[in-house]
Amino acid sequence: MQDNFLLYNTLTRETEPITPHEPGKIAMYTCGPTVYHYAHIGNLRSYIMEDVLEKALRYAGYDVKRVMNITDVGHLASDADTGEDKMLKGAKREHKSVMEVARFYTDAFFADCEMLNIKRPDVVEPATGCIPDFIRMVESLLEKGYAYEAGGNVYFDTGKLSDYFVFSSAVEKEQLKVGVRDDVEEDRNKRNKNDFVLWFTRSKFEDQALKWDSPWGVGYPGWHIECSCIAIRHLGEYMDLHCGGVDNIFPHHTNEIAQSEAYLGHRWCRHWFHVNHLNDQSGKMSKSKGDFLTVSLLKEKGYDPLAYRMFCLQSHYRKPLVFSFENLDNAAAAYGKLVRKIAGIAPEGEVDQEAFEEYRSRFKEALFGDLNTSMAITVVYDVVKADISGGTKLALLKDFDRVLSIGLTKEGAVLPENTPEADEELERFIREKIEERALAKKSKDFGRADAIREELLARGVAIKDTREGTVYELQH
Ligand SMILES: [Zn+2]
């Protein structure tokens, strides 16, 4: 039996229960990265929140199948059918082939995810592996009269839909119909202003790197078709939950719905989940702003990537989050303190079932009420402070970490009994070093791990790895 799970739905603008097409199972899709550069921490905010959502759904008892695409087909630098090809731009910058660039940044993306404890989706599908699927869907849309050929390209005809702007309110719909976006270069082949390309054979880029044969000539797919096809291929005709950042709502998700529902002939995905922006003090963070922040850069600056995860969890996914190093410092300090406090909890006493269930139901209430992660973190603090046995606390924290994944009960500093008392400052120093060493080992940086051991030894502290974690002894 699954718990009731309330989640805001961008499509209906209501917070409503998740009601899967097949009871107990959730078919979940996430728009994946375009792999021409490192992911910046703003993108990763979305992936962190989607990861928490997936884990919370599993925690609620659902059997989740999650699919993600990798955009490795060159696609255009702006959301309009104009601009530079992002993949090609990356390849030129780095003097590599487009496929080398794609492979390199796909690996880099999953390395970032690992540092942030983001689980890999059940299916990860690169777009270049699905070209025949894209062609089949475009053919079908042409047959059904939802698409047309013009000037060598195939376009989706938005004029055939009674409600194209599905995510917008009535007022916004009017504005969208008349509004002209400055960055949209007029394409005279289009029947309607919002029509979009399903298949290109007339590329604006003569050196377009990846091209395939198609019934319409040699070319490449439009961006939006990729997600529709990959989702339907792996999750079937009915999807329960589709995720992305708020900037995916229009045009990307709007176009996904248009073509998928035209193709299928019925409603496609019921629930749409969107994560708001990470802003810096001057506005939205993006790659185009020159220097951008990556997880590796945060690590170089001495931050534990999980402190960034904690920073994201402390605010609600539907609100914009303002990033500054001061804000991150606060989150990192709170995180370090919390982890050290938990490391000091002795695993004593029986698990008090009544207390366990009580805190667990508070934790569920927070998560299953539109993914209120900051309230869930409050429950973590309440458990740490609570007047219950150490055994109960640790059992709860381990359970909560299945969803939060911030390393609450990771292998860390465990003090052996009968240790000569170190003074508080030294103790703090030792615990920080032990934690840093555990992280270095985790990322296979054994040189750094050994250097930390030496550094501690120089201060008269010998450390030893045991099954219960790392312990230390002061030498005389
Ligand atoms: Zn997508």
* Rounded Cα gap, residues 82 and 167, in angstroms: 24
- Ligand 1 center to 27 CA (angstroms): 15
- Ligand 1 center to 71 CA (angstroms): 9
- Ligand 1 center to 352 CA (angstroms): 45
DSSP string, 287-354: GGGSS---HHHHHHTT--HHHHHHHHHTS-TTS-EE--HHHHHHHHHHHHHHHHHHHT----S---HH
Query: Using 50, 70 and 90 to split pLDDT, how confident is the model at 291?
Result: low
pLDDT-wise least confident of 7-11, 47-51, 331-335, 453-457: 453-457
Query: Using 50, 70 and 90 to split pLDDT, how confident is the model at 206?
Result: low
- Ligand 1 center to 79 CA (angstroms): 12
Give the torsion through C-alpha atoms of 94, 98, 103, 108, to 10 deg. Answer: 40
Query: What's the pTM value of the predicted model, to 2 decimals?
Result: 0.83
- Ligand 1 center to 203 CA (angstroms): 21
- Ligand 1 center to 223 CA (angstroms): 8
- Ligand 1 center to 52 CA (angstroms): 19
Q: Where are the domains of the chain?
A: 6-275, 412-476
User: With 50 as the cut, is the pLDDT of residue 411 above it?
Assistant: no
- Ligand 1 center to 30 CA (angstroms): 7
- Ligand 1 center to 422 CA (angstroms): 54
- Ligand 1 center to 252 CA (angstroms): 6
- Ligand 1 center to 81 CA (angstroms): 16
CA distances 172 to 247, 255, 402, Å, are 16, 17, 40
Q: At the topology level of CATH, where does 6-275 sit?
A: Rossmann fold (3.40.50)
- Ligand 1 center to 32 CA (angstroms): 7
Q: What is the pLDDT of residues 119-161, one digit of tens each?
A: 999 999 999 999 999 999 999 999 999 999 999 999 999 999 9
- Ligand 1 center to 4 CA (angstroms): 27
Q: Which residues contact 475 (CB under 8 A, 6 or more apart)?
A: 460, 461, 462
Q: Evaluate whether 233 touches 146 at the Cβ level (below 8 Å).
A: no
Residue 210, pLDDT score: 80
In 3D, which of 193, 198, 205, 201 has the Cα closest to residue 82?
205
Q: Where are the beta strands (DSSP E) in 133-291?
A: 147-150, 153-156, 196-200, 220-221, 239-245, 269-275, 278-280, 283-284
Residue 7, pLDDT score: 98
Give SS3 for 120. Answer: coil
Q: What is the DSSP letter of 156?
A: E
Residues with CB under 5 Å of ion ligand 1 are: 31, 227
Strand partners, 9: 14
- Ligand 1 center to 168 CA (angstroms): 18
- Ligand 1 center to 261 CA (angstroms): 15
User: In the chain, pLDDT over 70 holds for what percent of residues?
Assistant: 88
